[in-house]
Amino acid sequence: MIRQYELVERVRAYDPAVDEDLLNRAYVFAMKAHGTQTRASGDPYFAHPIEVAGILTGMKLDGASIVTALLHDVVEDTGTPLTEIERLFGPEVARLVDGVTKLSRIEFQNDQAKQAENFRKLVLAMSDDIRVLLVKLADRLHNMRTLHFLKNPEKRRRIARETLEIYAPLAERVGTHRMKDELEDLAFGELHPDARDSILSRLGYLRREGGSIVDRVIVELRRVLEEGGLPDVHITGREKSPYSIWNKMQRKDVAFEQLSDIMAFRVVVGDIGQCYQALGLFHSRYPVVPGRFKDYISTPKPNGYRSLHTGVIGPERQRIEIQIRTPDMHEVAELGVAAHWSYKQGAPRAPDGRQFRWLRELLDILEHAQRPEEFLEHTKLELYQDQVFCFTPKGDLIALPRGATPVDFAYAVHSQVGDTTVGAKINGRMMPLRSQLQNGDQVEIVTSKAQTPSPEWERFVATGKARARIRRFVRTQQRAQYVNLGRAMLEKVWRQEGYDFAEKALDGVARSFQSQSAEDVLAAVGAVTFSPREVFHAVFPGHRPPPTPANELKVVPLAPRAKGKGRKESGVPIRGLIPGMAVHYAGCCHPLPGDRIVGIITTGKGVTIHTIDCETLESFNDTPERWIDLSWEAGQETPDNHVGRISVVIANEPGSLGSLSTIIGKNGGNISNLKITHRSADFFEMLLDIDVKDVKHLTNIIAALRASPVINSVDRARGR
């Protein structure tokens, strides 16, 4: 564990003007606050914030960040109020501590929702000050270094998966490659220990067989540069990390033996001109591997990374990767955002805001995602980083993930451009919107004010921002359909009851339906959250009591009848019932006048009427004494409606629900209930309860629906 004076000396080594008193007070305060708390390893808990602070000193962060690292768990784990932190250490430290503090005290339904909500708040916090993210990354790195002390294997795997999916890509986005590599390797070892051990053993074998091949390659590369007039260079060589090797094996579907660029060499030269001079010397001396040259100096990565990358068949016929950069570029490559902090004037200087375009994209996704889990899904799309670089007609550079399309490009330019996209020219040629972009493509987006996002786009877009915007539009469009459907359903009920529908009548009852406005009530009715009858009786409570649902108990009147006949309260004659017997219709098959029916006697409940082909009847095969042969009275009119249930598959397009309700209404039916059982980009599957007179009436409605182009299929629902 780093001692107090050692920590102060580490910071003073790169920032002589640091407030030593602040560091000392924070060290002592955190030690006392955590007291006798211990970690899973058995070490004092205080060792954790000390190690986090030590990691940040290696990144040369400012004093406020180091103090934040020392205090980052005090508020959560010791009950110290944030106001006390602000009083003792100032508002800047308090704000950073508040941003980094874990949010585990908030209760959520599941781990994914908790993870998503925590990450959402981390994004908001680091949008105000990127140092929040740097402290959080250091916190996660030390937790990963000690992950093996946790006894619960499932918890270890969950933390490792979260590290690989969220924190390692975030470390890459702020350019801290050294931290990213270690996070990936630690998570890889937990999630795929056998694969990591296998790769390490193969690397060890190559080292034993090749001896000092890395040293020999470095000597040869240095000789080439010296002969070309570049004597003052610094060259290092290393093997790629096990996770990087495994990832490439998975991505390219190749075996370890088929990888030929396992070694990477970094060449640090004096200035940008020497970078290109060194590149020319290597390309003139060794065969170039096609497709492996990348110029990140003229087109830097979004995180500020700059370097020349090339692949060659180098010394001893080894296929190697060479990275050429200046000392400043190398510092940024190693430390990322942290390399931009300067202490020459005694005050840190934040990096250029252009580096944080990716963060603005995350905030845009946050604005348009409906649920935390959806935000997390889109964010993962945004963070994964195999990139292509494309240009606008004016020459502006747009960085996108590999597999991106013109729609992704349009949304990267501006959300409004994406929403109104109708076509795209790639390198001067009109191309389909689903075309995948390649490095160096020039893309011109064709727009129209009349265009809106298409749900089909979600199938092929590759960026989280594009997907979030498309989904938001689909949700808005779906709400409009629900509002229209709800209005149509309410207008029909009002008309049936002899009233003229007025939307303002819903304002007075909106609160009783947990709604904010009349439009919310209409949408809720259209989505079948409430039935139109419920809303009607809320507006007109004195009109008359709601009609009894068809599947509830009804008592047969005791009026004199011929023996062997019963009559439902509505007056629908049923042959075979005993007068006075309680009757209700089964909700599994919804029998209608005209169906072949049978009764099942239930003690204390009377008779339940089923259709003769109802699957539920199989459960009564062993009790034939409970069966009663029934039939509808022939030639009798049905004075009241009955409930018929149908299963519908409808196209997911504007106006579909309106067409559905219109067809049912025109054919004398009334939708009393609707449930969406499955939805996709193209179709909705739903169950509808319709008030009809008899089975013939329902059959006519089904036939009319089948004739509609928006209806994919419709059948009478059984056993649901």
Name the active-site residue from 76, 185, 640, 685. Answer: 76
Instruction: State the SS3 of 585-643.
Output: ECCCCCCCECECEEEEEECCCEEEEEECCCHHHHHHCCCHHHEEECEECCCCCCCCCEE
Calculate the dihedral angle through the C-alpha atoms of 362, 367, 368, 370, rounding to the nearest 10 degrees: 110
CA distance 280 to 227: 13
Longest dimension (CA), the chain: 119
In this structure, the number of other CB atoms found within 10 A of the CB of residue 20 comes to 14
In terms of Cβ atoms closer than 10 Å to its own Cβ (0-12, 13-18, 19+), residue 332 is buried
Q: How far apart are CA 56 and CA 138, in angstroms?
A: 7
Measured distance CA(426)–CA(331) in Å, rounded:
36
Phi, psi of 320 (to 5 degrees): -130, 160
- Bridge partners, 237 (sequence order): 265
Q: Which residues of 601-615 are buried (b: 16+ CB within 10 A; e: fewer)?
A: eeeeebbbbbbeebe
> H-helix or E-strand containing 662?
helix 656-666
CA dist 480 and 520 (Å) reads 10
HEC profile of 148-172: HHCCCHHHHHHHHHHHHHHHHHHHH
CA angle 253, 254, 255 (to 5 degrees): 135
Given the residues 20, 43, 77, 331, select the one marked as catalytic: 77
φ, ψ for residue 667 (rounded to 5)?
-100, 20
Tokens 């109104």, residue?
420
| Residues 141, 179 contacting (CB under 8 angstroms) | yes
76 flagged as catalytic: yes
What CA–CA distances, in Å, run from 364 to 19, 170, 369, 472, 667?
37, 17, 9, 12, 47
Please say whether the beta carbons of 720 and 588 come within 8 A.
Answer: yes
List, by residue number, the catalytic residues. Answer: 76-77
